[in-house]
Amino acid sequence: MSAALQSIAREFDANVLVSAELLEGKYQHGIDGRFTLRSALETLLADTGLQSIEVSPGTFAVLADTKPVSEKALNEPHVIPYVQLPQKPLFSSADHSTDLDRLRREDVIIVTGTRRRGRTVFESLAPIDVISSVELRQTASEELLDGLAQSLPAFTAFRLPLNDGNIFNRPTALRGLSSDKTLVLVNGKRRHRSAFLETARGQPTDLSQIPISLIGRVEVLRDGASAQYGSDAIGGVINIILEEDTQTTGFAQYGEYYEGDGDTWRTGFRTGTVLPNGGFSTFAFESFQSAPTSRSVQRDDAKAFQAAHPEISLPDPVQRWGQPEREGWRVGLNSEFPLTSELDGFLFGTFGLSQGISDFNWRNPDVSNAYTLTDAFPDFDLRSLYPAGFTPRFGQEETDVSLFAGLRSATADALQWEASLGYGGNHIDYILNNTINASLGPESPFNFRPGRLKQSELAINIDASRDIALLVLRRPAHLAFGLEYRQDRYVVERGDPASYAVGPAAVDGAAIGANGFPGYSPDQEGWFDQVSFAAFADLELPLSDKLAAEAAVRYEDYSLFGDTFEGKLSARYALTSDFAVRGTVSTGFRAPTAGQVFSQRTSQGLDSTTLNGVTNGRFSPESLVADVISERDGIHIRSLRPERSLNIAAGVTFRTDDDFLLTLDVFQISIWDEFGRTPTYELELHERDVLQAMSPDLGFISNVYFFQNTYDRVTRGVDLVASKNWQFETSDLEVTFAYSHANRTLEKSRFDPEFALDQLLVNPNLSDSMTITATYHIGVLEFYSRLRAHGDWRGASGIETDPIQVFGGRTFFDVALTWNIDPKTSVRVGAENVFDTYPDRALNQSNRGLLYSRDSPYDTDGGLFYLRLSKDF
């Protein structure tokens, strides 16, 4: 009986209090089925002479049913010597079973947005979504961001074919805000950023690097939380809670698009061991291999070339617009272990290796300057090597590592504390094949290594919390406080010499550098650091039985721009035990990274008339180039400052005894000094002379742009979530409805307002999104369905007279059937976008064979089916 009660306590992340004497001589083989916490205890204790009583939310006492005691006695430990069983969340590994499926959603214990233990979703002072591991496994993709995007209407994951590193390091958006305005945590610790930094989308965390098999659940706080967690938490917080189950389980999955491409293999397993004295260690491994997709037609210029040169056979299409070819593997570890009776240790981390490759634009022999005939190499004609033109193949090899270790108090004393040390790193090595540095002529290789980017972060945290008695309160308040130190380092390493070289043929106009993606030159390489120190505190106050409030403050000091002070106030008032109103107001910020402040990305060449070198690209706002441009009237290139925000939100939450839950929240997010890029400036002759005098290398600059704090904007919206469970005699049905609306308004731009609007279109977002999921269980079968409806969205049209294209709304339908062959084996067959729905055709770049916008906020490859086998051992 003791082991069975411990299993329930772990399964529901609950406290079960019981006198050890009551369990003597009592045995139980366990229970099987789908339960709430209360019904699980009632079923387990039936006919045992014991009963369970709820002492407080998430805490039950087990008593002899012939000796009921008063509430006063429950608060006097000397009357009944309870033993508190361990409360570690345990998630069932079978695809058809999980704690979040059995537990009413509002009763799920959360750890995000609060530092008080035992708070549930329903009691939260701000909106929180909890996505179970089972829900994540309902998505065919191996990437976490796709699972979140299909489950949360407020979250968007983009696919950007033929868009340099964006095709591998995909941007996301929460509540219409760019990726770097959402803080990502793993087990409550800040996750490191990606090394990819080539666009104005910022430098976000790569969510694809965490093996889904190691994820127990994901908590998404849809509220500003910089005062609680620091930089980046403007739009919200994604907290990935790692699995603690030690049972061995594995899976294999195959998927393919209706078009017959993009076939993907996924395999993985999770295992673990129970450590002495209640510890655990869980390990997971996943691998994947996916073929590319193509939703293209032949380019117009390729058709013309084929007609002019019938003797040459062109591929059709000459370039593919679609997902890249990818493969890789990821591992993860999550462990906790008692060290003494008063001290626990913990260790968790992930490691991943992946690589991918995709097409760039086709080079037409009749027009490309890669085919320029030069006096430098009079006997060389690139047509002899690439008579049908060539399509560069761009790829990357990525290494990602994260490791956290720490100590925490293991007793229930007044002061709870935790100390941790964490490291995270992301390395990207770029690859460019099937191309040439035309300026080197026959001396050029055809395959290049354009360079390496590195992002590394070190974090030290010390947190503590305790209940404190205040005379004016009937119940204890909860105080949490702590310190944090972080170091952020960004490194750019040069590519191989041929990737950035300016060869002899450049004087005649031949293209320089690796054609398609010139390598990082010695002038661009370097390492750049930023350090920060933070102190924070928050106080949760139970002002009455109905009113709860929280105040949080955080002070941070950054080496690159100075200090910041943020605050947050939250309150929740329970009109009844099942209906409450809540609201928050908070300030927030996003600190510029070291890479954004200092790194530069340029391409180099020669002016065929003057024979002078020229340099084009992005320069640091701290550079001499920025100083020269700032001499122009009306232009001032400034040092990067943190983005600032003000979040205001209000909502209601309601539940019924028959498993119905509804939350409605409205919000406004005002952001000042939002990050972006400037227009491109062509340097004038006198400006080049000034730079030449400052540094000989700077005299060759031609066109430049910078990262800047470019505009202010306001995002207003509403989120609605409702869920209902029906329990029938032999089956059950779960239905969830979620709707999100977010509208962005540009308030001010430091540069050309039309240019600012163009930049906002770079990261298009859906104003309206909705999902409805339904899961029906009967016997050994599970039927799953999901409807995803998206409203209109806007993108660039590529037409000067009508620069914006409006794309119509679309609805996608996903279905899956799971057969639980036995308690340890299941087979699932499913389809995403089962009706093979495509978005509107795109105008922009359609002359290059593109059918659907590469900025689309959802998949544009049509229907996909998959087959998955899962097995517990």
Q: Of 31-35, 81-85, 443-447, which has the strongest mean pLDDT?
A: 443-447
- Report the chain's terminal Cα–Cα distance, integer Å: 24
With cut-offs at 50, 70 and 90, classify the pLDDT of residue 801.
confident
Cα–Cα distances (Å) from 361 to 8, 158, 511, 843, in that order, read 57, 20, 15, 17
Gap between the Cα atoms of 785 and 170, Å rounded: 26
Give how far the C-alpha of residue 448 lies from the chain's centroid of Cα atoms, to the nearest Å: 30
Say which residues have a Cβ less than 8 Å from residue 29's Cβ, sequence separation at least 6. Answer: none
Please tell me the number of Cα atoms within 13 Å of 218 on its side-chain side: 27
CA triple 449-452-456, angle to 5 deg: 165
Q: What is the pLDDT at residue 265?
A: 96
Q: What is the pLDDT at residue 694?
A: 84
Q: Which residues pair with 469 in a beta bridge?
A: none
| Residue 665 parent element (H or E) | strand 660-677
Q: Position of tokens 């009583």?
A: 53
Inform me whether the pLDDT recorded for 85 exceeds 50.
no
With cut-offs at 50, 70 and 90, classify the pLDDT of residue 99.
very low
39, with CB counted inside 10 A (0-12, 13-18, 19+), is middle
257/677: higher pLDDT: 257
Q: Position of tokens 């395999």?
A: 267
Task: For residue 317, say if its preceding peptide bond is cis, omega within 30 degrees of 0.
Answer: yes
59/682: higher pLDDT: 682
Q: Give the count of beta carbons closer than 10 Å to the beta carbon of residue 520.
A: 24
pLDDT tens-digit map of 494-521: 999 999 998 999 888 888 899 989 999 8
Q: What is the pLDDT at residue 100?
A: 44
Q: What is the pLDDT at residue 214?
A: 95
What percent of the chain shows pLDDT beyond 90? 62
471/291: higher pLDDT: 291
Q: What is the pLDDT at residue 75?
A: 43
341/662: higher pLDDT: 662
Q: What is the pLDDT at residue 115?
A: 75
Inform me whether the pLDDT recorded for 98 exceeds 50.
no
Residue 41: both structure tokens together: 């205890």
Q: Which range among 89-103, 372-386, 601-615 shows the weakest confidence by mean pLDDT?
A: 89-103
Inform me whether the pLDDT recorded for 263 exceeds 90.
yes
Q: What is the pLDDT at residue 698?
A: 75
Q: What is the pLDDT at residue 429?
A: 97
Q: Give the count of beta carbons closer than 10 Å to the beta carbon of residue 846.
A: 17
800/741: higher pLDDT: 741
As a whole number, the mean pLDDT across the chain is 88
SS3 443: helix
CA triple 578-580-582, angle to 5 deg: 155
pLDDT tens-digit map of 267-302: 999 999 998 888 899 999 999 999 999 999 999 999
What's the pTM value of the predicted model, to 2 decimals? Answer: 0.87
With cut-offs at 50, 70 and 90, classify the pLDDT of residue 87.
very low
Alpha-carbon torsion angle 53, 59, 63, 69, nearest 10: -60
694, with CB counted inside 10 A (0-12, 13-18, 19+), is middle
Side chain identity, residue 700: F
> What is the average per-residue pLDDT within 612-620?
78
In this structure, the strands spanning 660-677 and 707-727 are antiparallel
822/761: higher pLDDT: 822
> What domains, with CATH codes, occur in the chain?
1-88 (3.55.50)
> What is the average per-residue pLDDT within 210-232?
94
Gap between the Cα atoms of 452 and 165, Å rounded: 12
Q: Where are the beta strands (DSSP E) in 162-307?
A: 172-174, 177-178, 182-186, 189-190, 215-221, 236-242, 249-257, 264-275, 279-290
Q: What is the pLDDT at residue 101?
A: 43
| Residue 149 parent element (H or E) | helix 144-151
Per the CB < 8 A criterion, the answer to whether 586 and 225 are in contact is: yes
Q: What is the pLDDT at residue 380?
A: 94
Gap between the Cα atoms of 802 and 641, Å rounded: 34
CA triple 196-202-205, angle to 5 deg: 60
92/730: higher pLDDT: 730
Q: Which range among 37-41, 419-423, 632-636 shows the weakest confidence by mean pLDDT?
A: 37-41
Q: Which of 492, 493, 514 is nearest to 503 (CA)?
A: 514
Q: Which residues pair with 479 in a beta bridge?
A: 466, 539
> What is the average per-residue pLDDT within 687-714?
86
Gap between the Cα atoms of 249 and 262, Å rounded: 27
In this structure, the strands spanning 59-64 and 50-56 are antiparallel
With cut-offs at 50, 70 and 90, classify the pLDDT of residue 79.
very low
Q: What is the pLDDT at residue 476?
A: 87
Per the CB < 8 A criterion, the answer to whether 575 and 581 are in contact is: yes
Q: Which of 591, 592, 588, 602 is nearest to 520 (CA)?
A: 602
Q: Which range among 88-92, 605-609, 695-699 shows the weakest confidence by mean pLDDT?
A: 88-92
Q: Which of 433, 438, 435, 358 is nearest to 389 (CA)?
A: 435
Say which residues have a Cβ less than 8 Å from residue 729's Cβ, sequence separation at least 6. Answer: none
Q: Which of 96, 1, 112 is nearest to 49 (CA)?
A: 1
Per the CB < 8 A criterion, the answer to whether 98 and 133 are in contact is: yes
Q: What proportions of the chain, in percent to the nearest 5, are helix, strand and coil?
A: 15, 45, 40
Q: Which residues pair with 776 in a beta bridge?
A: 733, 783
pLDDT tens-digit map of 61-71: 888 875 444 44
Inform me whether the pLDDT recorded for 469 exceeds 50.
yes
Reported for 372-376, long-range contacts at CB under 8 A and 24+ positions apart, including other chains, are 372/438, 372/505, 372/508, 372/509, 372/510, 372/511, 373/508, 374/441, 374/504, 374/505, 374/507, 374/508, 374/509, 374/510, 375/508, 376/441, 376/503, 376/504, 376/505, 376/507, 376/508, 376/510
For residue 306, give the DSSP letter: H
What percent of the chain shows pLDDT beyond 70? 90
Q: Which range among 72-81, 132-141, 431-440 shows the weakest confidence by mean pLDDT?
A: 72-81
Inform me whether the pLDDT recorded for 672 exceeds 70.
yes
Q: What is the pLDDT at residue 29?
A: 62
Q: Which residues pair with 266 in a beta bridge?
A: 253, 288
CA triple 855-859-864, angle to 5 deg: 160
Q: Which of 172, 309, 336 is nearest to 245 (CA)?
A: 336
Q: What is the pLDDT at residue 120?
A: 77
Phi-psi domain of 694 (left: phi exceeds 0; alpha: psi -120 through 50; beta: other): alpha
